Amino acid sequence: MDRQPKRNSRVNVRRAEVMGIVQEKVRRHYQSALVESVRSSGNRLELGHTTFVLAPEFGFCTGVQRAIDIAYAARNVFPENRIFLIGDIIHNPEVNRQLAAMGVIRLPWKTMTDEYDELCEKDVVIVPAFGVPVPFMDFLTNKGVSIVDTTCGDVVKVWRRVKDFAAMGVTSIIHGKATHEETLATASRALGEDGRGKYIIIFTEEDTRALADYMMGHGCRDEFMKRFEGAMSPGFDPDRDLVKVGLANQTTMLKSETQSIQTMIRNAVVKRDGNDERYSVFDTICGATQDRQNSLFQLLDEKPDIMFVVGGYNSSNTTHLVDIAKESVPTFFIEAAACIRSLTEVECFDTRLHRIVESSFPEVMGNPDVPVKVGITAGASCPGNLVEETIFRVGMLRGDSFDSILTAAGMLPGQYQ
C-alpha cells in the first residue's frame, strides 16, 4: 500500500475562545501596574532623594508578546499532549521558567540530538521567536508533530530577503553573531531553494574590515578562511563568492554599527568595481530594536547618575543597550532585582568580559540622603514586572517604603496586587 503523505503539521492556536484566557494569564505573569502608572506620568517617579527615569520605550515588543501568547495558547489548546520548545522562546530566563512550570519541555536548539528522534505524532513542538534552521523544520514536518510556530515577522522578512539574494546569485553578507539562533536560521535560508546560495557572517567592524580588504584584493586567503571558519556556507570561495554581495542583518544588532558596516562594504565594492551595481543592502534591524535604542538616547539626555539595563544576559538587543549606555553613565546589566545586593554591591553582566561579575555602585548610590537620578531601560524580551521589582528594590534600599513608592506613583497601596 502506498504511504499516505504527511499532513500539514503547522497548527494555529490563536483561537478566539483561547486568546482571552491566555492574554489575561500573560498579563498577570508579566505586566506591571506600577510601571504603567510611571509611564503615564512622563516616565518619571519622584521619591524622597531618589528619582527614577524610564526610557520612553522598553520591554516586550510586539513580536515577543506574540510569541509568548502563542506558547501559552499551545498549552491551553493541547492540555494533555507533551509540548516541547526548541531552545528558549525568547532570551529571558523568567519567561522560560514560566513555560517550564507549565510543563513545556526544552529541546536543544543547536543540534538535533536523540531527544528529537523520540518525538511522535501526538507531540507538539514550539518554534521560538528567533525561528529555527530549515533542516529542523523539515525534520519536524516529516515526524508529523504539531508545529506551533512563533517566529517573529521581522525575522521572516530577513529570510525572504536572503532567499531573494540566493535566487539572484548574490552572496548574503549577514551581520550577526554566528552562534545566535536567529543568525543560524537566517543562514540556512540564504542557501536558497536549491541549496546553492552562499553566505558569510560578520559580527564586528574588524570582521568587516577584513572582508572589505579581501574584496579589494588585499589580504591572505588562508588567513581569511581561518578567520571566518564556521561562519561561511559550505564550499565558500571568497575569490568567487564575493563578486555580487547583498547585506542583511540579525534584527537585534546595534543600529549605528550596522550603518557603519553597510558603508564599509559598499565602499569596498565601489573601490573594486568603480560603482555599486553589484552591491545590495536591505536594512533588516527591527523597528522595536531601533525604537529602544533611540529611546535610550533620549533617557541619557536626562543625565542619570546611574543606569540599570534589565534583561537576559544572552539577549542581543539588550546587550546593545548596555553598550550604548555605558559610554555615558555607570551602567549595570542585571537579570533581576535580586542582583542588587545592597547600596554598594551588585552582581551584573560584563558585556566585554562576557561573564557575570561582582561590581560596586558609584558613591552617590550608597548615601540615601544624597539625591540620585536612576535611569532604567530593558530589552525587547524583558517583562515589565522585572522593571517594577528593580524600582522597588532600589527605592526600598534607599529608605522608601513599599507603600510610599506606590503612593508616589499615584496608586492606592491597599488595592495593589
Question: Same domain, yes or no, for 256 and 297?
Answer: no
Q: Where are the alpha helices (DSSP H) in 205-273?
A: 205-215, 221-227, 238-241, 255-273
Give the CATH number of the domain where residue 55 resides.
3.40.1010.20
Q: Could you tell me the three cell numbers for 171? A: 552572496
> What are the Cα distances from residue 42, in Å, to 156, 181, 305?
35, 36, 19
Contact 126, 71 (CB under 8 A): yes
Domain annotation covers residue 137: yes
Contact between 111 and 184 under an 8 Å Cβ cutoff? The reply is: no
How many domains are there within the chain? 3
Are 69 and 127 contained in the same domain?
yes
Residues 263 and 161 in one domain: yes
Do 362 and 384 have their domain in common?
yes
Active-site pick, 57, 94, 182, 389:
182
Which residue's C-alpha cell is 498579563?
27
Asked which of 106, 122, 151 is the last residue of a domain, the reply is 151
For residue 78, what pLDDT is reported? 96
- CA gap 114, 302 in Å, rounded: 53
235 in the same domain as 190: yes
Distance CA 152, CA 47 (A): 39
Distance CA 359, CA 308 (A): 13
Cα of first residue to Cα of last residue in the chain, in angstroms, is: 62
Residue 320 in contact with residue 252, Cβ under 8 Å? Answer: yes
Q: Are 77 and 317 in contact (CB under 8 A)?
A: no
Q: State how far the Cα of 394 lies from the Cα of 29, in Å rounded to an integer.
A: 22
Same domain (yes/no): 176, 213? yes
Q: Which pairs with CB-CB distance under 8 Å and at least 24 residues apart come from 401-406?
A: 404/47, 405/34, 405/45, 405/47, 406/34
pLDDT at 4: 41
Would strands 50-54 and 44-46 be described as parallel, antiparallel, or unpaired? antiparallel
367-415 tens-digit pLDDT: 999 999 999 999 999 999 999 999 999 999 999 999 999 999 999 887 6
Q: Which of 233, 256, 281 is a domain's end point?
A: 281
Whether 8 is in a domain gets the answer no
Question: Do 328 and 403 fall into the same domain?
Answer: yes
Q: Are residues 309 and 403 in the same domain?
A: yes
Cβ–Cβ < 8 Å for 380, 16: no
Q: Is 149 helix (H, G, I), strand (E, B) or coil?
A: strand
Q: Between the CA of residue 365 and those of 362, 371, 373, 376, what are the distances in Å?
A: 6, 9, 9, 14
Both 319 and 273 in one domain: the answer is no
Distance CA 9, CA 13 (A): 12
Contact 181, 109 (CB under 8 A): yes
Q: Give the per-residue pLDDT at 2.
A: 38
CA 121 to CA 98: how far, in whole Å? 25
Q: Are residues 220 and 302 in the same domain?
A: no
Asked, for residue 334, whether it belongs to a domain, the answer is yes
**Are 54 and 69 part of one and the same domain?**
no
**What pLDDT is recorded for position 417?**
62
Q: Catalytic residue at 46?
A: no
Residue 5 lies in a domain: no
Q: Which neighbouring-strand residues pair with 376? A: 54, 308
Q: What is the pTM of this model?
A: 0.91
Residue 6 included in any domain: no
Residue 188's CB is within 10 A of a number of other CB atoms, namely 21
Residue 112 maps to a domain:
yes
Residue 3: the pLDDT is 40
Q: Give the mean pLDDT per block of 10 residues along the chain (417 residues).
A: 52 91 92 94 95 96 94 96 96 94 94 94 96 96 96 94 96 94 96 96 96 95 97 97 95 87 96 96 81 95 97 93 96 97 97 95 93 96 96 96 94 76
Please tell me the distance from the alpha carbon of residue 176 to that of residue 178, in angstroms, as a whole number: 6
CB 385 within 8 A of CB 95: no
CA dist list (Å): 272 to 173, 247, 258, 264, 267:
17, 17, 21, 12, 8
Q: Determine the structural domain holding residue 115 and report its residue range.
A: 62-151
Whether 87 contacts 108, CB under 8 Å: yes
Query: Where do we find the cell 530577503?
Result: 161
Strands 355-360 and 345-350: antiparallel
Task: Give the CATH number, domain containing residue 90.
Answer: 3.40.50.11270
Under a CB-based contact definition with an 8 Å cutoff, are residues 349 and 335 in contact?
yes
For 360, other C-beta atoms within 10 Å of its C-beta total: 13
CA distance 12 to 74: 9
| Assigned domain for 12 exists | no
Predicted pLDDT of residue 400: 95
- Domain assignment present for 19: no
How far is residue 373's CA from residue 253's CA, in Å, rounded to a whole number?
28
Same domain, 336 and 367: yes
Start-end of H helices in 191-336: 205-215, 221-227, 238-241, 255-273, 287-300, 316-325
